[in-house]
Amino acid sequence: MVSDWGAALETEENANGGLDLEMPGPGHVWGNKLFAAVSEGKVEEELINDKVRRILKIASFTKRFENPDNKPEESHDTEKHRKLLKKAAAGGMVLLKNNNLLPLKSNIKKLAIIGPNAKEAQIIGGGSASLRPHYQAHPLEAFQNKLGDHTNISYAKGCHTHKFLPRVNEGYLWTIKKVF
């Protein structure tokens, strides 16, 4: 379990709560503070050993010990990877799966797709969550491609989503003067 960048704010609570790695390093709430918490008996040493074992297991699995130098990121756009990603995405569609709607049948006559991310999906975040995909298929487009012309697909934006809080309409504001 890895913290979001700068999100680990407590020492003992994070260590005892399942966090394995504070990011980014060097740690602000771990390091000497975590050493002190272990020394004072607030965090069990075996718990730290277990965290280290998990981190080392990942380092071994990813062959980090064999290739310790940072290298440019690379990607492999293969059919095998695409199938795995499609399977993972379909596995995450809990509501549709629980209602026996997946996989979609080609005999659907009408389908409504609602939401601002259906037309242009937000597929990445900022910072370390950024990535450049091999290709994008937004949900509306994917449904249209999958179901073809025999399905009447309706789309509505639904709610508005904003990256930043929208500007306040100043016509709705008034000033209250304090009288002393």
Which residues are known to be catalytic?
4
**3 three-class SS:** coil
Q: Where would I find the beta strands (DSSP E) of the chain?
A: 110-114, 152-156
Burial (Cβ within 10 Å: 0-12, 13-18, ≥19) of residue 113: middle
- CB environment 15-43: b (16+ within 10 A), e (fewer): beeebbbbeeeebebbeeebeebbeeeeb
CA–CA separation, 5 and 127 (whole Å): 9
As given in the structure block, the two tokens for residue 163 are: 């990256």
CB contact set of 46 (below 8 Å; sequence gap of 6+): none
Name the phi and psi angles at 35, rounded to 5. Answer: -60, -45
